[in-house]
Amino acid sequence: MLSAFWCHLLPAIKLYLLGLKVLLLQLLNGPLRLPVMPRQDGNVAIVTGGGRGIGYEVARHLVRLGAHVIIGGRDEQEGLAAVRRICEHYKEAKVEFKKLDLASLQSVRQFAQSFRERDLPLNILVNNAGVMLVPEGRTEDGFEQHFGVNYLGHFLLTWLLLDTLKDSGKSGHVSRVVNVSSSAHCIGQIRLNDLNSRQSYSSHAAYCQSKLAQVLFSFHLHQEMQSGGFQVSSCAVDPGMVDTALYRHLWTPLHLAQSVIARLLFRTPEEGATTVLSAALSPALEGDCGGGYWANGCRKMTTPLTFDPQLQVSLWEISLQLLNLH
């Protein structure tokens, strides 16, 4: 009994202490500002979870630069409202909403198939949507929610769109996959024999595992593209502590305290989008300079575990098996 209680409490303590450290560091770093980025006329971008928060700001900035942006999201009303707001700001906006539920592999496949049928290029894929600290539950296909939504749904989406990304990239203008992860990956553990957290469940541990999985996937995908000679790069990004709805599943007293602190000290969604946009757009990240892990507007070193080639390959192969991909 005591052991089970400790297994639930320890990941929570680690995550909250890490959050405090990250918040102090970003306050010391000061506000982030997006440098001038090149126009994106003729380029096509997909942003998952682009109906609100960081995803909305990423989509809005891409539209402002001339990109054709497709917002993928579960909430149709929210997505269409985001499209209307963007169009009100930019009269020549090329932006649309398409239904995408990352908790349903069928929905992911339908979204990807619908996109491929349009014969559009795909220059930027921002895997931004996610859940955090949700109660124990399963996706439509039986996967633990954090693992299924944050990681596996995005893995499948990227895989299904990979040929389009390859065809769209060219020397000096690589296609880019940007996976929005979190500093929480630093304290995550990958349990290859229990990726769905059936042996014991902690929402904090499950969230951290999903974020570590995203980073491992990002690094391995980048290596695969580079070794294959494809003009595609892949990186992971930590937007920092940002005032969004992501924290709504916190224990009620903590959520109330977090809401007050967030308004005062957290980054705004626009500031949170800065590093994501830099990774997606910066000319400095072409060629061999792409990939990696990005936080606070620049490339950062991360934990040795994320560079473990055996763990990267094992997770990659298990993911292919779970998704029946070959």
Give tens-digit pLDDT for 2-41: 455 556 788 889 998 999 899 999 999 888 999 999 999 9
The catalytic residue positions are 207
Tell me which architecture the domain covering 40-323 has in CATH.
3-Layer(aba) Sandwich (3.40)
Tell if the pTM clears 0.85, that is, is over it.
yes
Locate 90 and state its tokens: 């930019």
Kindly state the percentage of the chain with pLDDT values over 70.
96
Q: Residue 300 above 60 pLDDT?
A: yes
| 151 HSE (CA, 13 A, CB side) | 31
Residue 169 has pLDDT above 60, yes or no: yes
Tell whether the model's pLDDT for residue 325 goes beyond 70: yes
pLDDT reading at 188 higher than 50: yes
The domain segmentation of the chain, as residue ranges, is: 40-323
- Asked if residues 59 and 124 have their Cβ atoms less than 8 Å apart, the reply is no
Query: Higher model confidence: residue 69 or residue 262?
Result: 69
pLDDT digits (tens, 9 = 90+) for 232-271: 999 999 999 998 877 777 766 777 777 777 788 889 999 9
Q: How many CB atoms lie within 10 A of CB 238?
A: 25
For residue 251, the model assigns a pLDDT of 65
In the numeric block, which tokens belong to residue 129?
């949507």
For position 3, what pLDDT does the model report?
A: 54
> In angstroms, rounded to a whole number, what is the distance separating the alpha carbons of residues 15 and 132?
12
209 dihedral zone (left: phi>0; alpha: psi -120 to 50; beta): alpha
Q: What is the pLDDT of residues 172-181, one digit of tens each?
A: 899 999 999 9
Distance CA 30, CA 162 (A): 37
Q: Does residue 191 have a pLDDT over 80?
A: yes
Strands 44-48 and 298-300: unpaired
